[in-house]
Amino acid sequence: MRGAFRYLLLILLLALGLLTDPGTALAHATLVRSSPAPNARLQSAPASVQLWFSEAVEGRSSQIAVYDSTRKRVDKRKVTAAPGDPSSLTVEMDPLEPGRYNVAWQVMSAVDGHITEGS
């Protein structure tokens, strides 16, 4: 009798596992594109950097920072959500000199609350 109960419990747990949607539990906001594009060579400095993510992000809990080659931050430190697009964020830039720049980001998903980051 005890073995049958365990067997039934195992089948019930497996059935519940199959009925749940693992896609929602595994969703995270990942970077899908940016403007300027990664490794772009520009003729003039951009006025802003815009990032698009795979799902809606929490603008107030997210960050974008742009650094020059000496690790000096060169953005205006104010991230804004793109009007009408909850999956996009923008940061305005200070005037830039010619050189290489790195964009670092950290966002909180509005879908599942997970934080992702990259550069």
Q: SS3 string of 50-113?
A: EEEECCCEEEEEEEEEEECCCCCECEEEEEEEECCEEEEEEEEECCCCCCCCEEEEEEEECCCC
What are the beta bridge partners of residue 81? 89
CB 31 within 8 A of CB 53: yes
Residue 12 has pLDDT above 60, yes or no: no
pLDDT of residue 29: 93
Q: Tell me what the pLDDT averaged over the chain comes to.
A: 83
The answer, yes or no, to whether residue 3 has pLDDT greater than 80, is: no
Examine the pLDDT at 43 and tell me if it is beyond 80. yes
What pTM did the predictor assign?
0.76
Give the pLDDT band of residue 2 (cuts 50, 70, 90).
low
